[in-house]
Amino acid sequence: MNIKKLGRKSCEEIWGDGSVLPAVDGDLTADENHIRESCRVFLDGIRGASEYDVDWPFALELYFNILPLAGTFTLREAADNDVWRRLAVQVMPDLVERRWQSNNGIHAKDHFWAKPQRSWLKSLWWYAHLSCQNDDRALSEKCVLLGNTDSIQHIVERPGPGGFRVDLCRELMRRIGNRSINVSKLKKVLKLNTSRVCLVEPELYAGGIAGYVDSLVQSIP
């Protein structure tokens, strides 16, 4: 997939003090144009919805349809902050602004590019990926839509030692989907996992990953 990259230093220069939203780059690649137009059409179709009601369907659309149809979007690209900065700041800054409007005339740079784990586009894609159940959209919708928007940040901001453990995250989201745990408990479970996973390999735990998650959940009152 042909998405240009935007380094942090260049992004800072383009962004300035955040009082003026950057303009869309006049030299988008064909893939970038496709992504922008697909996102615009989809977001136009759900205008009027609450901010949180935009996050859920857009995360799934971005993950299952928009980026895959533009070309092969790899995990390497998904982990590259320069790719997400390019998309948010130069490909569709006006579309990101619909969700994160300026506060007292200053745009929320954290959700555009300044803090990678709070980047709106990146967090939505990774949330969908980490919630996905066997790459089945119907199952993924159940897990995502029955959750709470706060779970996006809880999941994405706590990758743990060595990065994201996809199977572990998906097991946690499956339990949110069937309501065996709620989002407030999820935060505590993730904190406990961060310390415990340094000593225990979830896949080798009795009962495998499901058994490991059971032990985490049962340890939280």
**pLDDT in the model for residue 198:** 83
**pLDDT in the model for residue 134:** 63
> Which of 154, 151, 8, 1 is closest to 76 using CA atoms?
1
Contact predicate 211/217, CB 8 Å:
no
- The rounded distance, in Å, linking the Cα atoms of 11 and 15 is 6
**pLDDT in the model for residue 145:** 52
**pLDDT in the model for residue 149:** 55
**pLDDT in the model for residue 185:** 81
The torsion defined by the Cα of 159, 165, 167 and 173, in degrees rounded to 10, comes to -10
**pLDDT in the model for residue 72:** 82
**pLDDT in the model for residue 54:** 87
**pLDDT in the model for residue 123:** 87
**pLDDT in the model for residue 75:** 86
Q: CA distances (Å), 66 to each of 72, 86, 92, 164, in order?
A: 11, 16, 14, 23
**pLDDT in the model for residue 143:** 59
- The rounded distance, in Å, linking the Cα atoms of 8 and 14 is 10
**pLDDT in the model for residue 187:** 80
pTM of the model: 0.80
**pLDDT in the model for residue 43:** 95
> Which of 128, 164, 157, 158 is closest to 55 using CA atoms?
128
Contact predicate 95/40, CB 8 Å:
yes
Which parts of the chain have pLDDT scores under 70? 70, 133-163, 177-179
**pLDDT in the model for residue 189:** 85
